[in-house]
Amino acid sequence: MNKLFTIVFSLVLATMFVGLVAADVAVGGVGAGASPGDQPPRICVKHRDVCIGTCANPPGVNPLDYRTGLYMFTGESLQYYIAVRDPNGALDIGQVKIRVANNPEVLCNEISSWKWDYTCDGMGELHLGETDRIYECTLTAEPQWIGLRQVKITAYNSAFQPTDGTHIETWYFNPALSLSVETSDGLPIHFEDMPYGADTPEERTVHSLNRLRVTNTADGGVNMWMFLAGTDLFDPSGASKCPTTNVLAIEDNMQYRGWTGTQWTSWEGWKYMGKYNQNDNCVVSPESHCYGGHPVPASENFDEQKHTGQEITDNILTNSGTLEVEFKLTYPMPCVGTFSNGQIMVFGKAI
């Protein structure tokens, strides 16, 4: 009986104690949270190249890796190496794309290393995997892309919200190449009469009475390397001999001298004509030739036989620029006839 009373009394005391605690404490609460904010990523361009294909095989867009304008042809590529920084952490960086206005986007490829120091202008030292990622972005021009278009780089965060980089370029895709070729008097290239009694080669040398005028009329600001070739001169009547057949060969007998701006075949630097060859290719320095044609203007040290010695800037015709060329001809002995069937040909190779 005493034991039962003790147990009951203890339970009553315990109940009274709990009731007392709940009665003198008020309980309330509010929600809690924090956010660092969703900061947009930043894009830094470390390096860029213009090249053929994927830029995997140097030297670049041509054998000299030399281009002076913002134009691009089908199959040529624009390549960037970039760093992307997200203050919220590298995990917040989603896709990165290189974009051309009104055309499909191209995904950039994340890479783990590059050949330069791990810095980028405006970002300082990169922290790969923490806040930064690095990418290689390659855009290859397609044949249907024509005219002026902007190229930009866009980074997307993990919520696929885009942020454009500040580096934007404007390119002219697939410009049409063209030349305006005429003579100073509208007539074919023609020469002085050979003086009476001319015996020596010097005395049998005559100059052209007009000049060739070539203007670069290509679209998109394209500059060109220029080359000059010709065909032999034939007498359509057949009643001729110069010196052994009815053909006046130009490679041994015709020379040229050209100029555009400060470039010219200087110091009496006449060069022998190249003979047109449809099976030839078009190659720039150090073995400059194009369908048998030689550079114009040409360096003083240009070797017509070996096609070597040409500086890359010696035969450039800038967009809308004009080149003039004069000629001289040495008649062999004997040389009888009217050699009216011939042609001077000009080739412009896009830089």
pTM: 0.81
pLDDT of residue 2: 46
Average pLDDT by stretches of 10, the chain with 351 residues: 42 43 77 72 95 75 87 95 96 95 87 95 93 96 94 94 95 97 97 87 94 98 96 86 91 95 84 95 83 89 74 89 97 90 96 93
Q: Where do you find CATH 2.60.40.10 in the chain?
A: 42-173
Asked if 128 and 118 count as a contact pair (C-beta separation under 8 A), the reply is yes
pLDDT of residue 198: 84
The CATH code of the domain at 42-173 is 2.60.40.10
